[in-house]
Structure 1
Amino acid sequence: MGVPRHHRDTLARDQAKPQNACRTRPKGNRMTRKPGWLSPSGAAPARRNFMKVAGMLSVATLLPAAALARTEPAPAGTALGEMDATELAAAIKARKISPLEAVDAAIARAQAVQPHINCISEELFDHARRRAAAVDLSTPFAGVPYLIKDEADIVGKAKHFGSRLDKVMPIAKRNDLLVERCVQIGLNPFGRTTMSEFGILPTTETLAYGVTRNPWNLDHVPGGSSGGAAAAVAAGIVPKAHGSDGAGSLRIPASNCGLVGLKTSRDRIVGGSFLGQPFCLSRTVRDTANQLALVETRGGSVVYPPIGQVTDPVKQRLRIGVITNGLSGNRPSPEVQNSITSTVKLLEALGHKVEEARWPFDGRQFVEDFMLAYMAKAKNTRARMTKGGPAPDPAILKGLIESVSFDVGTLGSDFSDEQVAEAYVRMAISSSAYFHLFDTMDVLVTPVLLTPPAKIGEINGSIPFPVLLMRLNHYADYTMLQNASGGPAISLPLHWTKDGLPVGVQFASPMGGERVLLELAFELEKAQPWAQRRPPLWAPSRV
């Protein structure tokens, strides 16, 4: 499999021609000719666009007879895009719309805005259409269109980690554990979403796939590393999408795109790692809560009880602590400060007891330890990508990947095992002190980022490493704590700047405390609704 033709030689060229950065993986490469990962027969279907499906094939040839019965006319395409996943699943189960109509509508929405935001790295349209014919309508999210971040295994396909290293990416023999679970509950993936290269940066501007843009303002980033997922959900392509959080990679895009982004407790969901947990981004709290109830791990090594279904706002009044300064001591921008001030007023108006708190450990040392551990992980990146196969030549590697990826990998190799072990010990001590905060509070409120969404070009893999680190230090300084400690946290879209950019607020709880976070989120969503706010680039209005 060669390097895809849509790859850009330089990020600058992409920025100069954003409309050309939208191309997804070209038709006819080896990946698209692999056996269909969602196809019952495994046969590779011919490419067909939406009009060909509508004009050349009757719905009866694609769907079981039972799926044809309807109690009402199918909702208009725009109405489908306005639904969250819970409502859309109910419409499919009620035979108001077929699974094929649902996925075709999502594909049409994707095609309408992809040239503007460039959030899809690979199309799986035909596979999803074939899957629609076999969707079990008894599953909770039967036939709801979905997107998968480009770091999760999909059987018969290669993942790309937002990189040009296509030649060393193995073809997956099975689905990622969470992907498999998502298919089991009825979700129908029809594409992969863009991400920062190897998930390193909190933006999504890559040499491989170009710039992914924020639907609220195309001059700004959607965040990262799950930036493509966030842009797709914010733009109304899908009601929710798969992502993962290794240092804020769900919460940061949620904050930048006006979404709900939950980082779950360590081991709450299958397929996670010590620092990272996979899950989803959504526009409504109920979509997040309903999906968590279906995919959470039960039994085994999990030491806290399952959450189960969460449907109602919190009943008891909570003790809530607030910390505004970043872990490194940096103060947030005025707009971010305003988001915390307004959130505190809202919480107090709802009857919660809110008090100022302080970090109970040396935040600067913690950030240094986390960065050391994070860079040390890069030593295993090549082995993880090649699955034991030959590693690429360093000279070739440097020419294919972004400079920040090469620098991080090089620096990670400079740390001894003893230094890494010491960093993990110190992070464990900091994590213990962090959890002791919850002896006197139920929830901790902080910003997600120090500033509103960054502008395109401010943080990307082509910037000299010392400059990049300085910019990162003044941008992302809160979310890594929950990854190191393993505790849960959620970003909620409670503020918009005067220029119309979303600013999320983070709510954190003790290990295993997702229920209180979701219940509080339900209450805040009811008190200050956000789900009907629409960005200037809204896919349902463009179909």
Structure 2
Amino acid sequence: MTTAEYLNYDAIGLAQLVRQGDVTPRELLNTALAIAEKVNPRINAIIHPLYEEGYKMVEELPAEAPLRGVPFLLKDLALEWAGTPMRSGNKAYYKYVSSVDSYYVERCRAAGLVFFGKTNTPEFGLNPFTEPTAFGPSHNPWNLDYSTGGSSGGSAAAVAAGIVPAATASDGGGSIRIPASCCGLFGLKPTRGRVSLGPHVGEAWGGAVVSGSVTRTVRDSALLLDLLSGYAPGDPYVIQAPERPYLQEVDAAPEKLRIGFSTQHPLSWHKVDADCVRAVEKAARLLMSLGHEVEEVSIPFNPEMFLEAFLPVFVGETSAALRHLSKWLGRPIQKGDVEMNTWLIAKLGEVYTAADYAHAQYRWNELSRTMATFHQQYDLLLTPVMARPPIRIGELQNNAQENMMLKLLQTTGGYSFLKGSKVVEQVAERTFSYIPYTTLANMTGQPSMSIPMHWTQNNLPIGVMFTGRMGEESLMFRLAAQLEQAQPWAHQRPNLM
């Protein structure tokens, strides 16, 4: 199979070729590896090449698997693949080798997918950009000077570059939707509890984290969710299964929907970039042309409460992640084990109290009730994914003055001053002003998706985000497929070959 032929197919299409005998799984893997060897040195998407393991999988594929032989990549965060490294973007985990498969990985095996590497991620998935000190930045295939987003930035870069048609992704504050938007892909964050995080984890980040995928086509994402979802022993949530497979929804036209849209920045003193506004307005016009009722609404939540509710959980969970690392290392964590910002976020987590964490969870519940009320009137909320197009690599890193102040805090151990510190607030606000929309669905547990809708004049993709009612992925797949048919995007590709 030639590179050009390979790039013409999504995962379902490649699997069909295998079933028909037009191509073998080994030939598919050979082609994927050839593309990886050509483009990965430029985009730094795959940080653990595991080619021999991929060839072993080719020899052991289940005969009737729905995606038999399709090349695939795993994000190097929280996904255990027995016998292979998992670094979580951190240098201290350099000796860690998984002893079991995650349930997610087990289901990928059963689906017939062929893994041949693990993809780059920021340290512990903490940032909306993929620039870990341990492995270096991933580069956006559309423009190598720009960010892939995060934390599933390596996976998104690999799919956008054509190495694989789909890859794993996970989302605790936007980490599926942000890279999908930055790289011109489709990415759906499932409802909380839809996909098991087991066997080692029941829930993560207070229920904010979910696993999913980034894909070129809507139907690939639908089939993957069919194959990956479902209860596993020990899961803390049991949610209603869909009435029929998600893949069937792709061929079903959605009913007339009522959609509220907003381009208002949740932090009123910030502005949303004109290209991001254009993307939402373009989506709104397209939706109306398809017969849906669309109207502009105000952001249906209190921005101050929003910030107050997410930060204690974010810093507390980071602190817990370092305790977990300490337990694995068998010694106390040292400053050099993690990036400076990670260290300080964890120390801030120790300053916040258990009462702060519990109070934040109360606010999450309030937000869930607020959104449930919104969805009594509207089927979906449409917003930008991000307030700006993809940023340049390094743009959200600390500036020199911030580094100096934070290093001083790290050296003196004045961690009690972190809470309410101007420099901490400055760094946090800069990040949140870039991604003010995505964490909503993580706190409430709702499904939320990014759809590529616009490209800037310098050819950078911009997604729009739809957030729906709990458990209504079926409706979202119907709408996504309708938009994909009306304004196709999978044929648009960065010029890396």
| Structure-2-length-normalised TM-score | 0.89
Letter paired with 1:534: R
Residue in structure 1 matched with residue 407 of structure 2 by the alignment:
none
> What is the match of residue 425 of structure 1?
362
Alignment-derived partner of residue 35 in structure 1: none
Once the two structures are overlaid, the 10-residue window that deviates more, 298-307 or 101-110, is 298-307
- Whether contact under 8 Å (1:259, 1:281) holds in the other structure is yes
Describe the SS at the equivalent of 2:91.
coil
Give a deviation string over 1:387-437, Cα, whole Å, max 9, x none.
55514442xxx2232111111111011111011101110121012101211
Partner of 2:486: 527
- Corresponding residue for 1:77? 3
Would you say the 8 A contact 1:320–1:444 is kept in 2? Answer: yes
1:165 to 70, 75, 92: 92
Cα drift, residue 386 of structure 1: 5.3
SS in 1 for 2:108: helix
Give me the whole-angstrom Cα distance separating, in 2, the residues matched to 1:312 and 1:113. 34
How many Å separate the matches in 2 of 1:514 and 1:385? 35
8 Å Cα contact 1:447/1:504 also seen in 2: yes
Quote the Cα distance in structure 1 between the aligned partners of 2:278 and 2:145. Answer: 22
Q: Distance in 1 between matches of 2:89 and 2:346?
A: 16
The answer to whether the 8 Å contact 1:170/1:387 transfers is no
Query: Conserved in 2, the CA contact under 8 Å of 1:170 and 1:385?
Result: no
> How far apart in 1 are the matches of 2:253 and 2:375?
17
SS at match of 1:108: helix
Question: Structure 1 residue aligned with 2:36, among 110, 131, 135?
Answer: 110
CA contact (8 A) 2:445 2:470 kept: yes
Deviation, 1:328, is 2.7
Which among 95, 100, 109 is matched to residue 183 of structure 1?
109
Give the Cα separation in 1 of the matches to 2:68 and 2:398.
Answer: 39
Distance in 1 separating the partners of 2:495 and 2:427: 30
Partner of residue 473, structure 1:
432
- SS of 2:194 mapped into structure 1: coil
For structure 1, which segment, 185-194 or 309-318, has the greater mean C-alpha deviation from structure 2 after superposition? 309-318
Q: In 2, distance between residues paired with 1:125 and 1:503?
A: 33
Letter in 1 for 2:388: T
* Match status 1:328 vs 2:262: no
**Structure 1 179/386 Cα, relative in aligned 2: closer, same or farther at 3 Å?**
farther
Counterparts of 1:317 and 1:120, CA distance in 2: 42
Q: Output the aligned Cα RMSD.
A: 1.7
- Equivalent residues in 2 for 1:60-209, closer than 5 Å: 75-151=1-77, 152-167=79-94, 170-209=96-135
* Contact persistence 1:226–1:249 (CA under 8 A): yes
CA offset at residue 334 of structure 1? 0.6
Alignment of 1:96-495 (within 5 A): 96-151=22-77, 152-167=79-94, 170-271=96-197, 273=204, 274-298=207-231, 301-306=237-242, 308-309=245-246, 310-329=249-268, 330-385=270-325, 390-394=330-334, 398-460=335-397, 464=403, 466=424, 467-495=426-454
Q: What SS does structure 1 have at the residue aligned with 2:295? A: strand
CA contact (8 A) 1:448 1:479 kept: yes
1:216 Cα shift? 0.5
Q: In structure 2, how many angstroms separate the alpha carbons of the residues matched to 1:389 and 1:515?
A: 43
Q: Is the 8 A contact 1:320 1:445 kept in 2?
A: yes
**Corresponding residue number in structure 1 for 2:406:** none
Letter in 2 for 1:423: A
The residue identity in structure 2 corresponding to 1:79 is E
Write the letter of the residue equivalent to 1:134. E
Q: Deviations over 1:104-134 (max 9, x none)?
A: 1111111100111111110110010121112
Q: Aligned equivalents of 1:148 and 1:94: distance in 2?
A: 27
d(CA) in 2 for partners of 1:210 and 1:82?
30
SS at match of 1:253: helix
Partner of 1:505: 464
The letter of the residue matching 1:302 is V
How far the C-alpha of 1:468 sits from its partner, in A, is 2.8
TM-score by length of 1: 0.82
User: Residues 401 and 387 (structure 1 numbering): CA distance in 2 closer, same or farther, change over 3 Å?
Assistant: closer
The 1:179–1:387 alpha-carbon spacing in structure 2 relative to 1, beyond 3 Å, is farther
Count the aligned residue pairs. Answer: 460
Identity %: 36
**Is 1:170–1:386's contact at 8 Å kept on the other side of the alignment?**
no
C-alpha contact (below 8 Å) 2:193/2:239 kept by paired residues: no
Change in CA separation of 1:400 and 1:460 when aligned onto 2, cut-off 3 Å: farther
SS in 2 for 1:156: coil
Q: Which amino acid aligns with 2:240?
A: Y
Work out the CA distance in 2 between the residues paired with 1:201 and 1:223.
8
Contact 2:322 2:333 in 1 (8 A): no
Quote how far apart the aligned CAs of 1:461 are: 6.7
More displaced 10-residue stretch of structure 1: 290-299 or 276-285: 290-299
Q: CA separation of 1:360/1:78 partners in 2, compared to 1, >3 Å: closer, same or farther?
A: closer
Q: Is the 8 A contact 2:322 2:346 kept in 1?
A: no
Moved more, 463-472 or 266-275: 463-472
Cα distance between partner residues in 2 of 1:116 and 1:251: 23
Contact 2:254-2:482 at 8 Å conserved across structures: no
Q: Output one character per residue of 1:217-239: Cα deviation in whole Å (capped at 9) or x when no partner.
A: 11100100000000000000000
Identify the residue that residue 66 of structure 1 maps to in structure 2. Answer: none
| Whole-Å separation in 2 of the counterparts to 1:278 and 1:212 | 20
Letter in 1 for 2:140: N
For the 8 Å contact 1:149–1:226, the answer to whether it is kept is: yes
Instruction: Kindly indicate whether the alpha-carbon contact (under 8 Å) linking 2:194 and 2:239 is maintained by their aligned counterparts in 1.
Output: no
Letter in 2 for 1:453: P
**Which ranges of structure 2 fall in alignment gaps of 5 or more residues?**
198-202, 404-422
Q: CA offset at residue 293 of structure 1? A: 1.2
In structure 2, distance between residues paired with 1:387 and 1:353: 54
Secondary structure of residue in 1 paired with 2:238? coil
Shift in CA distance, 228/456, structure 1 to aligned 2, threshold 3 Å: same
Q: Distance in 2 between matches of 1:393 and 1:508?
A: 39
